[in-house]
Amino acid sequence: RNESYLVGLVGDGITESLTPPMHEREADHHGLRYLYRPVDLAVIGRPGEDVGQLLSAGRDLGFNAFNITHPCKQLVLEHLDEIDPQAEAIQAVNTVLLQDGRFIGHNTDCSGFTRGFEKGLDGVAPGRVVQFGSGGAGSAVAEALLGLGAVQLSLVDMDVARAAERAAELAARYPQATVESVTAAQAPGQIAAADGVVNATPMGMHHHPGAPFDLDLLRPTHWVADVVYLPMDTPLVRAARALGCAVLDGGHMAVGQAVDAFALITGTTPDSARMRAHFLQL
C-alpha cells in the first residue's frame, strides 16, 4: 500500500465535480493521505485529445491514478498499457491506475451503476427495459443492465445510428437477451410493455430541462432509473416518485463509480453508505 495518494480528474468543465471531495473525505476516515485535484481542460485551455500528454505529465509528477470523464473516456484508450475486460467491452475508461509507470484502464461507471441498482432497487429484477441515451453513460448503464439480467433492452437515442451500433454490439455479446434500437416514435409502445425505464441522456440537468419522453407514459409498476444527478430530483425522478414507482436517482451511480474507483486506487474497501451520506450533504 502507498504512503500517500495523488489523484486527478481529467475532463471538461469539472472544477465543481463532487467526486474529489467524496474521495478525500472517505480517505480521511481511513487515515490515508489523499489529495484529489481537478484537471479541468476548460481551465487549462487544452483539448480532450491531450489526455495522453496529461497522463504522461501526471506520471512524471508522481500521480497514482486519474479519473477520466467527458470528453476523454474514449480518447484515453489508445494511451493505455492494459485495460480491464469490462472497460474493453464498453470501449470506455473512467479510471486509470498508474502501476510501475504503466497505465491500466478500468470502467467504474458500469460497476458503479450495478452497485447503485443493487442498493437502491433492492429486489427489483430489470426485466424488459427501455433506455434513453446510448452515449458514454448509456453504454456503461446498458452493459450493467444486461449484466444484472435484463431480458430485453430497447435503446432510444436521437442519434439513431449510435443506438443501432450500440445495440448490435451488445446483442452479439449477450445472446440470451433481446437488445435492439428503437425509434422515438416506437418508444411509447415499448414503455407500455416495459418493466423499467432509464434516462441516460442529459435531459433533466439544470441546463437541459425536461425529460426524454412524455412522463404521462409512466405507470406505478415501472421501476425508473436516472443517471442525471445535478439536480437529483429530475422531472423524471419526481414524476416516478409521485406515482409510487421504485426509483433509482442519479446519485447512486455517481457514488457507485466513486466507491469502486476508491477501492481500485487504494486497495481499501470504502464505506459506501458513508460516501452516499457525504455526497448528499455536498
Distance in Å, CB of 60 to ligand NAD, minimum? 29
| Residues 181 and 189: beta-carbon distance below 8 Å | no
For residue 173, what are the CA distances in angstroms to 94, 138, 143, 179, 267? 21, 16, 10, 10, 30
Of 194, 188, 186, nearest in space to 163 by CA: 186
Is the CB of 61 or the CB of 185 nearer to ligand NAD? 185
Q: How far is the CB of 16 from ligand NAD (least distance, A)?
A: 12
- 119 annotated active-site: no
The catalytically annotated residue of 11, 23, 55, 73 is 73
Nearer of residues 84 and 157 to ligand NAD, judged by Cβ: 157
Q: How far is it, in rounded angstroms, from Cα 51 to Cα 134?
A: 23
Q: Which residue is nearest to ligand NAD (CB)?
A: 135
State in angstroms the smallest separation of the CB of 175 from ligand NAD.
Answer: 25
| Residues at the contact surface with ligand NAD, assessed by CB under 6 A | 70, 109, 132-138, 156-159, 162, 200-203, 205, 212, 227-229, 250, 253-254, 257
Cα angle: 262, vertex 69, 269; to 5 degrees: 10
What is the closest distance, in whole angstroms, from the C-beta atom of residue 268 to ligand NAD in the complex? 21
For residues 177 and 199, give the distance between their C-alpha atoms in angstroms, rounded to a whole number.
Answer: 20
Q: Which is nearer to ligand NAD, 210 or 244 (CB)?
A: 210
Tell me how far apart the alpha carbons of residues 7 and 90 are, in angstroms, rounded to a whole number: 24
Catalytic residues: 73
